[in-house]
A and B are shown apart, each in its own frame.
Chain A
Amino acid sequence: DTGVSQNPRHKITKRGQNVTFRCDPISEHNRLYWYRQTLGQGPEFLTYFQNEAQLEKSRLLSDRFSAERPKGSFSTLEIQRTEQGDSAMYLCASSTGQGNNSPLHFGNGTRLTVT
């Protein structure tokens, strides 16, 4: 168990640019999640994959956001035409999906700053 890995750890970009983040989940985990965390708040659910299928997208995920998990392993989260309001910590998590309460294992996040 090498843990959930996220890259990059930090990203500073100018408003209007596109950014892409990568998440490598724990290898045997078939469930993968993206959350967003702003300063002083708890994480908010963005989207969920079971294997390669994206099964749910939050209304927080505007059309500028797209997530993929092409082979059911790593995932990418892309933000197009970034806005200052996109500045946040983006957290990826994975779980085994066994039962209704399998705990989520989180990565260390990618902190995005939009200037």
Chain B
Amino acid sequence: AQSVTQLGSHVSVSEGALVLLRCNYSSSVPPYLFWYVQYPNQGLQLLLKYTSAATLVKGINGFEAEFKKSETSFHLTKPSAHMSDAAEYFCAVIEEDSSYKLIFGSGTRLLVRP
């Protein structure tokens, strides 16, 4: 069964610093991978998705993620953190036998220090 693991339930960075949020997946087939962001008391918003077209995926708000098959990773990065990036971030994978069911990681809360 597929799964995603997000290392670090909390990540704290200074404003302007590099953001790196880690996601590792397990899958026996080429995965479809997603990153979502959730602001307090809101639903999830899609940041970006990997669909095998390109290993480096650019998303909204300056975020990008690189798919590395050899490392089974799909880490999310942003060169310079902004205060408005403080939120919870979820990595997700489409379940192998499904075309629709997302399996989410447990999330990483990003804190941005002024």
Taking CB atoms, residues of chain A closer than 8 Å to B26 are: none
**Would A103 and B46 count as touching, CB distance under 8 A?**
yes
A residues in contact (CB < 8 Å) with B: 4, 6, 31, 33, 40-45, 48, 56, 91, 93, 95, 97, 99-101, 103-109, 111
**Would A97 and B100 count as touching, CB distance under 8 A?**
yes
Taking CB atoms, residues of chain B closer than 8 Å to A93 are: 43-44
Which residue of the partner chain, among B41, B43, B103, B106, contacts A4 with CB atoms under 8 Å?
B43
Which residue of the partner chain, among A31, A40, A45, A108, contacts B43 with CB atoms under 8 Å?
A108
**Would A42 and B106 count as touching, CB distance under 8 A?**
yes
Beyond A101-B49, A101-B94, A109-B42, 16 additional pairs, beta carbon < 8 A: A31-B100, A33-B100, A40-B106, A41-B107, A42-B104, A45-B101, A48-B101, A93-B44, A95-B100, A103-B46, A103-B49, A104-B44, A106-B43, A106-B45, A107-B43, A109-B43
What are 26 A-B pairs with beta-carbon distances under 8 A?
Answer: A4-B43, A41-B106, A42-B90, A42-B92, A42-B106, A43-B44, A43-B90, A43-B102, A43-B104, A45-B103, A48-B101, A99-B99, A100-B32, A100-B99, A101-B49, A101-B94, A103-B34, A104-B44, A104-B46, A104-B102, A105-B46, A106-B36, A106-B44, A108-B41, A108-B43, A109-B43
